[in-house]
Amino acid sequence: NAGVTQTPKFQVLKTGQSMTLQCAQDMNHNSMYWYRQDPGMGLRLIYYSASEGTTDKGEVPNGYNVSRLNKREFSLRLESAAPSQTSVYFCASSLSGTYSNQPQHFGDGTRLSIL
Amino acid sequence: QKEVEQNSGPLSVPEGAIASLNCTYSDRGSQSFFWYRQYSGKSPELIMSIYSNGDKEDGRFTAQLNKASQYVSLLIRDSQPSDSATYLCAVSGGYQKVTFGTGTKLQVIP
């Protein structure tokens, strides 16, 4: 009964380093999402994948790339980390395909600090 | 104007009282509405979904939707200290467009 699993849970990087955040869901959901959450800013959508094989930019995509590896997995990559990318990152999934009329289910988050 | 607005709070209510959380949205075409609860340091957890005008009850929680006035609310009856959290309103406008409010922090005082 895992739901949405994110790894790692915590990470500290130096400016300029790269890393990939992993996300996997076992609910056979079609859509997957990456958000960042900063104090006072709420959840902001970075990228989403409406279905396997498709990805689209969200509200704050700069500095990030994503890969929808298969229906279960959706990864987020920081190519050259910057201190402004210090945040809590959440992956979410939804049964919705094209139309987002179903709720999203969230992973536990990755707390990322960039020094 | 933000697309989804919530009072940041904190909203303080005594234990056993009714907590009323409100959310307004700007997109008249919005069709799906969700309430999430987020404890400090944790991820958002779905509480309620509501799709049509009126009230929807689930245990101590009631979601109310008024599309004409563009607001959705969440009532928590018999509030408990364990209900202390931040409550996020999310509104879906159709094609992969779900917008979250910044949340209302609720404090239930024993």
A109 contacts B88? CB cut-off 8 A: no
3-class state of residue A84 by DSSP: helix
B98 contacts in A (CB within 8 Å)?
A: 45, 100, 104
- The pLDDT value recorded for residue A41 is 82
Specify whether the CB–CB gap between B78 and B60 falls below 8 A.
yes
**Total residue count of chain B as it appears in this document:** 110
Which residues, given as ranges, of chain A have pLDDT below 70?
Answer: 1, 97-99
- The pLDDT value recorded for residue B44 is 97
- The pLDDT value recorded for residue A52 is 87
Residue A104's closest CA among A36, A14, A17, A4?
A4
**pLDDT tens digits, B11-35:** 999 999 999 999 999 989 898 999 9
Which residues, given as ranges, of chain B have pLDDT below 50?
Answer: none
B34 CB within 8 Å of a chain A CB: yes
- The pLDDT value recorded for residue A28 is 94
- The pLDDT value recorded for residue B96 is 64
Q: What angle do CA B82, B86, B89 make, to 5 degrees?
A: 125
- The pLDDT value recorded for residue A101 is 83
Residue B74's closest CA among B99, B110, B101, B39?
B101
B98 contacts A102? CB cut-off 8 A: no
Least CB-CB distance to B92: which of A41, A43, A100? A100
B32 contacts A102? CB cut-off 8 A: yes
- The pLDDT value recorded for residue A27 is 95
**Chain A closest CA to B17's CA: distance in Å?**
27
- The pLDDT value recorded for residue A96 is 79
User: How far is residue B90 from each of residues A16, A35, B3, B25, measured CA to CA in Å?
Assistant: 34, 14, 10, 9
Residue at token pair 């990939």: A20
- The pLDDT value recorded for residue A74 is 97
